[in-house]
Chains A and B, each alone.
Chain A
Amino acid sequence: MQTSTELSYNLPMDLKINEPRTLTGGRVISNLTAALLAIFFALPMVWMVLASVDSEATNQLNLPHLTAAHYWVAVQSENLSALGNSLIISTVATVVGTMAAFLAAYVLSKQHIPFKNPLLLTVLFLSGVPISILIVPIYKMFAALGWLSIIPTGILLGVTALPFQIYQLKNFIDAIPVELEEAAVLEQASSFQILWKVIFPLAKPGLASAAIFGFVNAWGNFLMPVVLINRLADQPAPVRLFGFMGSNSINYGVIAAYSIIYSLPVIVLFFGMSRQFKAGFSLGGAVK
């Protein structure tokens, strides 16, 4: 009797039994892979966080002997002023890049100008060029002009972000319906008024993401300041961090704490405005 019942639903049930099994098999593989990759991505960062609060920090993964001393050292005068220099450089870069990019993006998006496509292609090309190639000619120029200091370096870093920002903003402004401008034109608004009263308010999320890109780009740059800033006291945080790393006895705890303080603004900017950033990024022509 048993064999007969087994036989009776062995065949038709086979598919039903099989289907969930392959699915769970897939789920197990998915979960395992994702978990392994999570460890791969997280472990170096977990180490950094633990080392920053461990009074006996090494580059091994240990349970920390809790202390806040590393953070205290990391915000001492010179370290703090390096962060201040980073802030100056990045702010200058953000303001210069975002403002120029916004004006240009509006024209490239909405107005009729000759040679628009070649211009756009040039901008796209520039956004892909590794900016390290600029150091030799820029160094020569800045040295001749006596500009080897913090503000010109900030302006230069703003310019290196400019091509991508133009693309970001152009794609954002493209999405603003032309009817709004037409209505403004009928009301005798000037180009300046249209830009300021119609486009600017609507483009704010795009401007935010472009500004974040500009800030992060300048905040993270190591090469330009190290070559283009003469005074040691004017060097930004990444250069100071590199100085720590190169010293004979590496103090992992302090470097980890300083790295975290240095990285935090960027992380906050990204996650705090991730929605806008994602919008700007997925619109960014270079990506799609």
Chain B
Amino acid sequence: MSVRLDIPRVDPVSFVFLAPAALLLCALFMGPVIYAIYLGFTNLQLIGIHAINYRFTGMSNVVFLLHDEIFYQSLWLTIVFVIGSGAIGATMLGLVLALALQGCMPFVRWISSAAAILAWTLPPTTIAFVWMATSTQSGLISLLAGNRQFDLLYSHAMLVVSLANAWSLAGIAMTMFSAALRNIPGDLIEAAKLEGASLRQILTSITLPLLKSTIVTCALLMMLMTFGNFTLIYLMTGGGPANDTNILPVYTYLQGFKFHNLGYAALLGNVVVILSAVLGGLFVSVTKSRR
């Protein structure tokens, strides 16, 4: 048997090994995503006659979407949430914490990093419960504000869910930044100190520029994770009050399973897929270009 060694050989067993993952992903992930594209153009309902006898309705869902004010509001809220809580909130919290940890006592370091990581490990339902209790009337925040009747979750719902989301993600951001800080050569800082640079100068002209790529990667990752955070918002506010926290994933669920418009919900889901493709593409291109 002669085998050419200069050409990489494709082992048929490879496909056997790939088969389970490929089948599962096609049947339960990619297939449904494609199926949803079709459903987005139908009048499928959750209950009633259009639950079984639904049909292709062309562009009517798209026309409805373009005139749906709640959709535009929802899109805007999604952007506010993803950028405000993910790209800025969680990333900044993680960065500030990682920087502070560098120069503090071992005991304080242990407590604060453990608390941040513990907050990150909690399941979303627990996070939602803790933050709901903290931010409603007579909760911790109203105590700190000095007014028992103060209901921050009602008056500033988006702020509270953003805070809760940043709280739950900052632990990973901190881990990423701590790792990056350890990679900064110590002699750079040493040299700057010998030159008489102040701490602020060291921070702004050495540490932060060296962390720039980590900041970008981390911000994008936090955005992706924030975008997927349906559970937290749905459990804390259900999208309310008055649609104040109705981000796209929540609006999709409400349209489908509360207002029974499965077809329209599928179309909203397609918008979510497109947005996450943009975010994911950004992430890949940024991390690839760095290698």
Contact = CB atoms under 8 A, between A and B. Distances in A.
Interface of A: 15, 19, 22-23, 25-27, 29-31, 33-35, 37-38, 40-45, 47-48, 51, 58-61, 96, 99-101, 103-104, 106-108, 111-114, 121-122, 124-126, 128-141, 155-156, 158-160, 162-163, 166, 190-192, 195, 216, 219-223, 227, 237-238, 241-242, 245, 252, 255-256, 259, 262-263, 266-267, 270-271, 278, 281-282, 286-288
Nearest to A27: B103
B231 interface: yes
A54 to B, nearest CB: 13
Contact of B138 (A60, A162, A220): A60
A128 B10 contact: no
24 contacts: A27-B103, A29-B103, A34-B108, A37-B100, A44-B119, A45-B122, A47-B140, A100-B20, A100-B24, A107-B18, A111-B14, A112-B9, A121-B284, A129-B273, A133-B272, A133-B273, A134-B29, A134-B33, A139-B262, A141-B32, A162-B25, A191-B13, A266-B122, A288-B287
Contact of A270 (B20, B97, B121): B121
Contacts of A241: 125-126, 129
B104 A59 contact: no
B24 A96 contact: yes
Contact of A132 (B10, B122, B230): B230
Contacts of B167: 40-41, 44
B109 interface: yes
Contact of B104 (A31, A136, A137): A31
Given A22-B198, A222-B124, A59 B24 contact: no
Contact of B176 (A58, A227, A287): A287
Given A26-B199, A132-B269, A259-B126, 4 more contacts: A33-B97, A140-B35, A238-B123, A267-B118
Contact of B279 (A30, A128, A195, A220): A128
Contact of A135 (B14, B256, B273): B256
B118 A126 contact: no
Contact of B284 (A38, A124, A137, A252): A124
A256 B25 CA distance: 37
B177 to A, nearest CB: 12
A12 to B, nearest CB: 14
B254 to A, nearest CB: 11
Contacts of A158: 24
Contact of B129 (A111, A130, A221, A255): A255
B229 to A, nearest CB: 8
Nearest to B231: A222
Interface in B103-138: 103-105, 108-109, 111-112, 115-119, 121-126, 128-134, 136, 138
Nearest to B116: A41
Contacts of B230: 130, 132, 223
B269 A44 contact: no
Contacts of A162: 21, 24-25, 29
